[in-house]
Amino acid sequence: MSRMERATFAAGCFWGVEATFRQIDGVQDAVSGYIGGHTDNPTYKDVCTGKTGHAEAVDITYDADRVSYKSLVKAFFKLHDPTQVNRQGPDIGTQYRSAIFYHSDAQKKTAEEEIAALNATGILHKPIATEVMPAKTFFPAEEYHQRYLEKRGMTSC
């Protein structure tokens, strides 16, 4: 029997993040959406104003017997620049911040340990700026954002 769990990550524009996590064996679903703000049911237009406090994020459902949370955190750090504050590439704003929204104390501990370990390697040019915060309400993005790259025959942004 599978142990289904959730993980939620913000790493800039959610299109590429969603596509990357969908390719990991053990990930059952990845949904683009918004988390970490103070407005109920935000729209993409609302979030883009920077006034709702939400981050573009991906909510992942995964089989913990097939892929570990630690493996997902490692993948998260490989797919974006976690040293950037409120931006990824050309995308600038608080909605593009790097964040891990944990669903349990164990996830929080794993995230913090991975940040410390990655910082200790000296591989990155600056310290990790990724926020680690409790997951609150996740609002799925509009349908046209779901599987955005896949629908367009693209594999990355």
Q: What residues are annotated to the active site? A: 13
CA 30 to chain centre: 10
> Which amino acid type is present at position 45?
K
